[in-house]
Amino acid sequence: IEIYSLHVDCKVTSRFAHTAITSKIVNRANESREATFEVELPKTAFISNFSMTIDGEVYPGIIKEKASAQQQYDAAVSQGQSAGLVKITGRKLEQFQVSVSVAAGSKVTFELTYEELLKRELGKYELLLKVRPKQLVQHFQMDVHIFEPQGIRFLETDSTFLTNELTEALTKVQNKTKAHILFKPTVDQQKNPDVGETLLNGDFIVRYDVERDATAGDIQIVNGYFVHYFAPHEMPVFPKNVIFVIDRSGSMAGRKIEQTRDALLKILQDLRAEDHFSFITFNSKVSEWRSSLLEATAENVASAAAFVQTLSATGGTDIHRALLRAVDTLHKAEALPERSVSMIILLTDGQPTSGETKVEVIQENIQKAIGGKFALFCLGFGFDVSYKFLEKMALSNGGLARRIYENADAALQLQGFYQEVATPILMQIEMHYPENAIEGLTKNNFKLFFEGSEIVVSGKISNELDLLPVEIKAQSHTSDLTLKEEANVKEKEQVFQNQSYIFGNFIERLWAYLTIQQLLEKSISAPAAQQKALEARALELSLQFGFVTPLTSLLVTKPAEQPQAELANKPSEAG
């Protein structure tokens, strides 16, 4: 079985990435063999198309509601086999895999398309492409086209497998608003001279950021849909009041508690002088490092570092009492800066086993206690945590959850997370648009904005508007802000008119992608009655736009004589 051509074609238009992978395979044996198509794609992406072409006959993948697809095929196939096409393979990736039997001398072409909105983190967008053909490929080519009407501020590529030889196969062409990255190694360049196998095995990453002039962000419009990007910078940072709630139960012993200590020591160095902080550690008992929050003076940071060095792990897990104690400490805190941001960062590696162990009760009590006043961030270390529980608790309290993978770089993952939330520069952000002229507006109120990230709002302009006025209200550390901007609809539409390589309705697809992501996120912390309605709407959009989301399945059709029916389902981090 030989892959004679592999083409990765990625178009990024205004942060929305559309990646198509085409693999052409021939069976050179004189009997039928199994050909496998394997792609690793970002977890944040939605598959939007898949097909196989065998001897000129196209077998399209069909996107259906998950439940009905499952029913249709359970009859024919044992469930284990039917759900095995997509699985999580790492912290950022999931793998799609399909096999088909190919007759002697026959050819098959596999095509997979997926789409995602690139998320700005720590001042840049990252496009991650996984390259792993597992054999030398006669025609191997990767194209990345980027078009950013705001202008490209910087662009870099990075790779885990590029040798000096391979770097010669990489070209970059760039002007103010466009970039084209081409990677086209010959068979000789792909070959590892020592073992004769392929060198192409690993990550190919493109990182970039855009120019930002307008204070009220940037608006783009295509075919009656708009997207508004808002990422202010160089603003004063809010002082933080942060309590770290650290699990030191028995399961954290050894490597995990060491990595936690390393990360906390680094994080302590990153605290700003005007921040206030404290530590609560817990197993079946809850202990406080200090009874109140302390200012991050050099002296207090040094004494906290000495305390962190002594952290050891034994005993049970009383998440409930530890969090209630943290909330209570923040409520009682005195002499905190008037305009400041309070947050709790919980790190745990297990289920609640001591004190209150019913997750529903814990969630309810914590939400009541916090009362919308602070953000709760939950970090789940490893795979013994109930990620669902942590995610629901974080999302119900204005924060987010993250899984920390038990790898050598766990301490870096923890630090990286802290850096994302370390610099809040705006609070209570409200994005206003003319009410009677916009339909299907995505989330437009945000509790916090962190330096280096980006707020994205999208919607449909319903009537014949000539001007789209926007108003942003927010609190900064020093004042209350009101920012205004007006977008000329016709002028904005013009920007994309003459771009030949752009998929035409990309803002509409971006709007659908964002809406589905937000509906699914909202349903996690919504009451049961509301949950059904949110999922129904997300399902409707998934089917309308042909996205494989947690609510839909991709049905892979195959030639009649082959084992029928395979389902590709999107795996979730909550498992």
d(CA 60, CA 238): 52
Residue 138 shares a structural domain with residue 19: yes
pLDDT digits (tens, 9 = 90+) for 179-208: 999 999 999 999 988 888 999 999 999 999
First to last CA, the chain: 34
Average pLDDT in the 392-398 region?
A: 95
**Measuring CA to CA, which residue among 457, 433, 394 is closest to residue 117?**
457
**pLDDT in the model for residue 215:** 84
Strand, helix or coil at 96?
strand
Q: What is the mean pLDDT of the chain?
A: 92
Q: Name 228's Cβ contacts closer than 8 Å, sequence gap at least 6.
A: 217, 218, 219, 431, 456, 457, 458, 470
* Last residue within a domain, chosen from 422, 443, 474: 422
**pLDDT in the model for residue 195:** 85
Neighbouring C-alpha atoms within 13 Å toward the C-beta of 403: 21
**pLDDT in the model for residue 499:** 62
282-299 burial, b at 16+ Cβ within 10 Å, e below that, comes to bbeebebbeeebbbbeee
pLDDT digits (tens, 9 = 90+) for 200-255: 999 999 999 999 987 899 999 998 999 999 999 889 999 999 999 999 999 999 99
Residue 335 — very low, low, confident or very high, per pLDDT cuts 50/70/90? Answer: confident
In-domain check, residue 220: no
Q: Name 540's Cβ contacts closer than 8 Å, sequence gap at least 6.
A: none
In-domain check, residue 308: yes
In-domain check, residue 493: no
In-domain check, residue 94: yes
Which one has a higher pLDDT value, 163 or 206? 206
**pLDDT in the model for residue 341:** 96
What percent of the chain lies above the pLDDT cut of 70?
Answer: 96
Long-range contacts, 416-420 (Cβ 8 Å, 24+): 416/122, 417/377, 417/379, 418/263, 418/267, 418/270, 418/345, 419/122, 419/270, 420/121, 420/122, 420/450, 420/452, 420/453
**pLDDT in the model for residue 74:** 63
pLDDT of 82 higher than 80: no
Residue 163 shares a structural domain with residue 301: no
Residue 382 shares a structural domain with residue 337: yes
**pLDDT in the model for residue 78:** 46
466-505 burial, b at 16+ Cβ within 10 Å, e below that, comes to eebebebebebbeeebebebebebeebeeebeebeebeee
d(CA 383, CA 573): 10
pLDDT digits (tens, 9 = 90+) for 338-352: 899 999 999 999 899
d(CA 1, CA 4): 9
What is the residue type of 436? N
d(CA 549, CA 27): 33
Total count of residues recorded for the chain: 575
**Measuring CA to CA, which residue among 5, 3, 45 is closest to residue 28?**
3
**pLDDT in the model for residue 503:** 60
Q: How crowded is residue 219: how many other Cβ atoms within 10 Å of its Cβ?
A: 21
* Last residue within a domain, chosen from 422, 456, 475: 422
**Measuring CA to CA, which residue among 246, 404, 235 is closest to residue 322?**
246
**Measuring CA to CA, which residue among 304, 387, 374, 382 is closest to residue 343?**
374
Residue 85 — very low, low, confident or very high, per pLDDT cuts 50/70/90? Answer: confident
pLDDT of 142 higher than 80: yes
Residue 366, token pair as written in the block: 């914590």
In-domain check, residue 221: no
Residue 286 shares a structural domain with residue 353: yes
**pLDDT in the model for residue 88:** 82
In-domain check, residue 452: no
Strand order in the sheet with 139-147: 170-174, 178-183, 139-147, 2-13, 16-26, 107-117, 46-54, 57-65, 552-556, 566-569
Torsion sign across C-alpha atoms 344, 348, 350, 353: negative
d(CA 48, CA 545): 8
What is the crossing angle of helices 359-370 and 319-332, to 10°?
A: 0
Residue 84 — very low, low, confident or very high, per pLDDT cuts 50/70/90? Answer: low
- CA torsion, points 532, 534, 537, 539, in degrees to nearest 10? -70
CATH, residue 34: 2.60.40
**pLDDT in the model for residue 485:** 92
Strand, helix or coil at 84?
coil
Residue 250 shares a structural domain with residue 380: yes
Beta carbons of 260 and 277 less than 8 angstroms apart: no
Residue 177 shares a structural domain with residue 53: yes
d(CA 10, CA 15): 12
In-domain check, residue 9: yes
Average pLDDT in the 304-310 region?
A: 97
Q: Name 195's Cβ contacts closer than 8 Å, sequence gap at least 6.
A: none
How far is residue 65 from each of residues 525, 544, 547, measured CA to CA in Å?
A: 22, 11, 11
Q: Give DSSP secondary structure letters for 384-439.
A: SS-HHHHHHHHHHTT--EEEEP-STTHHHHHHHHHHHHS-EEEEEEEEE--GGGEE
pTM as predicted:
0.94
**Measuring CA to CA, which residue among 539, 563, 556 is closest to residue 112?**
556
In-domain check, residue 439: no
Residue 266 shares a structural domain with residue 371: yes
367 sits in which H/E element: helix 359-370
Residue 203 shares a structural domain with residue 264: no
Beta carbons of 324 and 365 less than 8 angstroms apart: yes
Residue 193 shares a structural domain with residue 311: no
Which one has a higher pLDDT value, 12 or 71? 12
User: Would strands 552-556 and 57-65 be described as parallel, antiparallel, or unpaired?
Assistant: antiparallel
d(CA 405, CA 392): 19
pLDDT of 61 higher than 80: yes
* Last residue within a domain, chosen from 360, 391, 422: 422
In angstroms and rounded to an integer, the radius of gyration of the C-alpha atoms of the chain is 25
CATH, residue 356: 3.40.50.410
Residue 141 shares a structural domain with residue 191: yes
**pLDDT in the model for residue 548:** 95
By residue range, what is the domain housing residue 176? 2-211+550-558
Average pLDDT in the 66-80 region?
A: 62
d(CA 144, CA 146): 6
Residue 101 shares a structural domain with residue 249: no
The count of domains in the chain is: 2
**Measuring CA to CA, which residue among 274, 306, 273 is closest to residue 289?**
306
pLDDT digits (tens, 9 = 90+) for 494-529: 888 766 545 668 999 999 999 999 999 999 999 989
Residue 302 shares a structural domain with residue 397: yes
**pLDDT in the model for residue 415:** 95
Q: Taking the mean position of all CA atoms in its chain, how far away is CA 192?
A: 34
